[in-house]
């Protein structure tokens, strides 16, 4: 029979922090998605994938690596990539180095889209995050977020 353990309840400061984190996790992505849809006709998930591909060598990534970099499941990424293919922003092809993988390639049209959209997105990030914080607060947020991200991130598959 399993034993129950006494709950480690949050103290008032922890509760206030948790509720702020919850609000941030809920509403920041919504606000960024609304900005991107209004200004660029794309979702936050699409922008995230395009921006990751824009920084990759030859603007090409294995989709499994792109899923990990964007914190999407492969099935979610597949739907996002399909929409972006329809828009002409990306193409898919088998990985010539290992046919078990599929590559996503940012097209010239996709590159132009990222270049056009990035300034507005960065301004929204700045407005919602960095303009509300001092330099020390921003650094502390970055440190704290990195620790939490490491604790919740799924394990990455090992390549052999």
Per-residue pLDDT of the chain (160 residues; tens, 9 = 90+): 556 688 999 999 999 999 999 999 999 999 999 999 999 999 999 999 999 999 999 999 999 999 999 999 999 999 999 999 999 999 999 999 998 999 999 999 999 999 999 999 999 999 999 999 999 999 999 999 999 999 998 776 665 5
| In contact, 29 and 43? CB cutoff 8 Å | no
pTM for the model stands at 0.86
Percent of the chain residues past pLDDT 70, beyond the cut: 94
- Indicate left, alpha or beta for 59 from its phi (over 0: left) and psi (-120 to 50: alpha): left
Given this model, what pLDDT does residue 88 score?
Answer: 97
Q: Where are the domains of the chain?
A: 41-147
Instruction: State pLDDT tens for residues 90-107.
Output: 999 999 999 899 999 999
Burial class (CB in 10 A: 0-12, 13-18, 19+), 113: buried
The string over 58-75, giving b where at least 16 C-beta atoms fall within 10 Å of a residue's C-beta and e elsewhere, is ebbbbbbbbbbbbebeee
**Residue 49: partners with Cβ closer than 8 Å, 6 or more residues away:** 66, 70, 72, 77, 80, 81, 84, 90, 104
Given this model, what pLDDT does residue 153 score?
Answer: 82
Given this model, what pLDDT does residue 2 score?
Answer: 56
Architecture of domain 41-147 in CATH?
A: Orthogonal Bundle (1.10)
């Amino acid at each position: 029979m399993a034993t129950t353990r006494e709950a480690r309840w949050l103290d008032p400061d922890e509760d206030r922090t948790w509720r702020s984190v919850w609000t941030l996790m809920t509403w920041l992505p919504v606000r960024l998605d609304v900005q991107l849809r209004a200004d660029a006709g794309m979702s936050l998930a699409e922008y995230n994938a395009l921006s990751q591909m824009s920084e990759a060598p030859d603007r090409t990534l294995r989709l499994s690596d792109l899923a990990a970099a964007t914190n999407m499941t492969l099935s979610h990424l597949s739907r996002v990539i399909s929409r972006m293919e329809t828009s002409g922003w990306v193409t898919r092809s088998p990985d010539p180095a290992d046919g078990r993988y599929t590559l996503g390639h940012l097209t010239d049209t996709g590159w132009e889209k990222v270049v056009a959209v990035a300034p507005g997105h960065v301004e929204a990030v700045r407005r919602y995050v960095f303009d509300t914080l001092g330099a020390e607060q921003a650094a502390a947020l970055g440190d704290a977020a990195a620790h939490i991200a490491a604790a919740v991130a799924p394990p990455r598959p090992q390549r052999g």
